[in-house]
Amino acid sequence: MSTSVTPSPSARPGASDRFEAYRDLAARFPDEVVTRAEVSDVALPGEAGTLALITLDNHAGPRRPTTLGPNTLIGLGEVLTHQAERARAGEIAAVGVTGKPGFLVAGADLGSIKDLTEPDDGARLARLGHEVYDLLTEFPVASFAFINGLALGGGLELALAAQYRTVSSGARGLGLPEAFIGLVPGWGGVWKTPRITGPKDAVTLMIANPLHNNRSIDGRTAYAIGLADALFDPSDDPSDTTAFVNASLQWASGVVTGDAATLAALEAQRDRDRSDAAWDEAIAEGRRIVAAKTGGHVPAPARVLELFEAGRHRSRAESAAAECQALADLIQTPEFHHTVYAFLDVVQKRSKNPAGAPDPALARPVRTVGVVGAGLMAGQLALLFAQRLRVPVVMTDIDQARVDRGLAYVQSQAATLVSRGRLSPEAGTELAGLITGSVSKDVYADADFVIEAVFEEMGVKKQVLAELEAIVPADCILATNTSSLSVTGMAAGLAHPERLVGFHFFNPVAAMPLLEIVRGPATTDRVLATAFATARDLGKTAVLVQDATAFVVNRILLRMMGEVQASFDEGTPAHVADHALDPLVLPMTPFTLLAMVGIPVAQHVTESLNASFGDRRFPVSANLQRLIDAGRTAIWAKDLKGDRIEAESGGATGETIPAGTAAMLEQGDAPQGAEELLVRVQDALAEEIGLMLEEGVVADARDIDLCMILGAGWPMHLGGITPYLDHTGASERVNGHRFHG
């Protein structure tokens, strides 16, 4: 295949009239990192003609995602206009769009969108996107998108605009996350997705995945649901897209020439259920998800669903007009601006420059890892270290039966990853083979990094660390996965406390992105730098926290849960207590979270907090202790048959308290209403966070926000927990000042 590079056309008289109405909008964003549309002419195999391959590249380094701002869109539109002229002149047989290594496009430039202040600005930006994408959809010859990497939001919609799509099996991060960030897929995605994948998978992409911790899909899944017409493997080098692009060009040649086998496979791949029954089922599922996840408190998901339902009977142009209006409306909402702060300023910017992290150059390599313990948490840790670091990991426990159970868990998880297409059979075998077990800690004699994941009791942890210190090399890092205990206390009996660091993961380990790194009083910069480097290699966002009981996330969550539990103990009806925080749209209610964490675990952490901070802020519930003593695992028993009483009037479907449980519980005579309890929780959180910042547990309120977003699923539309407390007035009511000026 021969290629020749054609420079992007500069603005020419008569060539850019289509975009004249948007140039003043683009001029307001002189700092936009423009993604260039660079054209190469490629000779298609089989003498199928020339394909103009447009590569999107911002030339901002390999890790800087490409994005779509108004200047980028106009530039791409000009290039597509010029290529359409060439197509009509017979110079090219097809056009294709792909991206720089690792990215097609990461989506719209939120930094640009958040600065749109006029009511019509959002609609104009939406119309600009449609103008550009329509060029690809209505291209006079075949148009292709070669999805080589991350494609989110407007980036995926760009691919949907093409007439044909291929995807790399190595692509990660594909999705339509607009409902999560406070918008709608406003460049055609709402209308096109159900017509490509069928309505059922469209609901998954546009509603279910965004509202499930902003889940994305990979290339194999995209092909499986019909989002792409063909699937090809990349080369082993992620920075080299040649193999994938060449395979895509070969396939495109078959489409252009009308190859019978290619077209037959294409027809079969596009055979999706778009029946009335499928639409009815998808709409019902979308309604169920939006109601369950938002309770009507968040506007964007409901707007996506509205557009999806109406789009069933709309033309593409009619849907485009509705999408533009929806974007114009949502860009003006507080929820969108809160999300932009949480996503851009906190999750994106703050996480990349962790406060207090030492010079990364001080970090030493980690080539062998030990995990003390072989239970569920230990098994998750072993899998994570082996899969992300690709190094040998050894688990130990007190007897062979426990070790065997731990290894069996690891092997089953590796097999599950293979069965779901996340790993090849060879990679699954390799992963399981990296993890071994032993009953002797002597296997850690050559380890670089050993983390304990044993019972959350100070004496047990101190004993384990002392045993390790007598075995491991002098430069081995010792880490504790404690969720609430003092790292200082653990270090007190060590001969070399300088190498101990807190390394607190959240459950489930593979899914939760936060890692609280705890610096003890003697922890060296070299140890800390290695901890941060290891966290990065594990794919985690690390936040440095000082050694204080329960650190950040658990301290805040236990204060919140404690206020709700105390209100219940004082006489508030169970349903009122458990659902008073529903307007926040938290991932789960307090009683559900209590059951998931485990009542004994929550009580144990509360006791630690009580010992440190007293009864007023962290009372230990006598009711919970009664449940623990009786072996009860929850307050609610959902859909329990037999011995039960129904939840109070207004309770959620299936929420019941078993009669035996109810008989144990003692309540006072001072009930609160839902609004009163919500304010009580707001004020308690404002107080606790204010004290944490005074104590220097973290460097800044943004670190609190980052921890709660990534470690507790704090909703993005609230803008982080400290801005939320500012907006509600709790910060000033309690502390006399806002967390943010």
Flag whether pLDDT at 645 surpasses 60.
no
- Contact 51/249 with Cβ under 8 angstroms? yes
Task: From 332, 350, 383, give the residue that closes a domain.
Answer: 332
Which residue intervals of 312-457 are DSSP H helices? 316-331, 334-340, 351-352, 376-389, 400-419, 425-434
Residue 10, in any domain of the structure: yes
Instruction: Give the Cβ contact number of residue 248 at 10 Å.
Output: 27
Q: Which residue has 């690809």 as its token pair?
A: 136
**CA angle 490-491-497, nearest 5°?**
155
Nearest CA to 79 out of 153, 18, 161, 26 is that of: 18
End-to-end CA distance of the chain: 59
Which residue intervals of 2-109 are DSSP H helices? 23-27, 70-88
Query: What is the SS3 assignment for 629?
Result: helix
Residues 534 and 588 occupy one common structural domain: no
- The residues, any chain, with a CB within 8 Å of residue 146's CB and separated by 6 or more, are 96, 97, 98, 165, 166, 244, 245, 248
Q: pTM of the prediction?
A: 0.87
Residue 213, in any domain of the structure: yes
Q: What is the pLDDT of residue 352?
A: 87
Q: What is the pLDDT of residue 15?
A: 46
Q: Is 736 exposed, middle or buried (0-12, 13-18, 19+ CB in 10 A)?
A: exposed
Residue 734, in any domain of the structure: no
Q: What percent of the chain has pLDDT over 70?
A: 95
Sign, CA torsion 8/11/13/16? positive
Residue 418, in any domain of the structure: yes
Q: Which residue has 């304010």 as its token pair?
A: 679
Give the confidence band of 423 by pLDDT, cuts at 50, 70, 90: confident
Flag whether pLDDT at 425 surpasses 60.
yes
Number of folded domains in the chain? Answer: 3
Give the confidence band of 115 by pLDDT, cuts at 50, 70, 90: confident
Domain CATH number, residue 593? 1.10.1040.50
Residues 530 and 600 occupy one common structural domain: no
Cα 37 from Cα 729, distance rounded (Å): 47
Residues 608 and 528 occupy one common structural domain: no
Cα 63 from Cα 76, distance rounded (Å): 22
Q: What is the pLDDT of residue 4?
A: 43
Q: Taking residues 441-466, report their average pLDDT.
A: 96
Task: From 696, 713, 731, give the residue that closes a domain.
Answer: 696
Q: What is the pLDDT of residue 396?
A: 97
Query: What is the SS3 assignment for 737?
Result: coil
Mean pLDDT of the residues in the chain: 93
Cα 636 from Cα 579, distance rounded (Å): 13
Q: What is the pLDDT of residue 532?
A: 97
Residues 495 and 589 occupy one common structural domain: no
Residues 231 and 126 occupy one common structural domain: yes
pLDDT single digits (tens) 706-722? 999 999 999 999 999 99
Residue 733, in any domain of the structure: no
Flag whether pLDDT at 7 surpasses 60.
no
Q: Provide the CB-side half-sphere exposure for 457 (13 A, CA).
A: 5
Domain CATH number, residue 83? 3.90.226.10
Give the confidence band of 110 by pLDDT, cuts at 50, 70, 90: confident
pLDDT single digits (tens) 250-293? 999 999 999 999 999 999 999 999 999 999 999 999 999 999 99
Flag whether pLDDT at 488 surpasses 50.
yes
Residues 74 and 198 occupy one common structural domain: yes
Q: What is the pLDDT of residue 413?
A: 95
Task: From 696, 712, 731, give the residue that closes a domain.
Answer: 696
Q: Which range among 236-240, 505-509, 677-681, 700-704 shows the weakest confidence by mean pLDDT?
A: 236-240
pLDDT single digits (tens) 152-177? 999 999 999 999 999 999 999 999 99
Flag whether pLDDT at 6 surpasses 80.
no
Residue 341, in any domain of the structure: no
Cα 722 from Cα 688, distance rounded (Å): 11
State which H helix or E strand residue 133 sits in: helix 121-137
Give the confidence band of 237 by pLDDT, cuts at 50, 70, 90: confident
Residues 452 and 584 occupy one common structural domain: no
Question: How many residues are listed for the chain in this entry?
Answer: 741
Residues 524 and 590 occupy one common structural domain: no
**Residue numbers of the domain that contains 639:** 553-696
Q: What percent of the chain has pLDDT over 90?
A: 86
Q: Taking residues 334-362, report their average pLDDT.
A: 92
Cα 634 from Cα 661, distance rounded (Å): 9
Q: Which residue has 């890692």 as its token pair?
A: 515
Q: Is 239 exposed, middle or buried (0-12, 13-18, 19+ CB in 10 A)?
A: exposed
Q: Which residue has 């391959």 as its token pair?
A: 53
List 3's β-bridge partners, or say none: 42
Q: Taking residues 650-664, report their average pLDDT.
A: 76
Residues 559 and 687 occupy one common structural domain: yes
Residues 317 and 464 occupy one common structural domain: no
Residues 84 and 132 occupy one common structural domain: yes
Residues 221 and 310 occupy one common structural domain: yes
Residue 255, in any domain of the structure: yes
Query: CA of 571: how far to CAs of 318, 615, 656, 670, in Å?
Result: 54, 19, 17, 5
Q: Taking residues 647-667, report their average pLDDT.
A: 74
Q: Which range among 41-45, 236-240, 356-360 shows the weakest confidence by mean pLDDT?
A: 236-240
Q: What is the pLDDT of residue 654?
A: 59
Flag whether pLDDT at 453 surpasses 60.
yes
Residue 355, in any domain of the structure: no
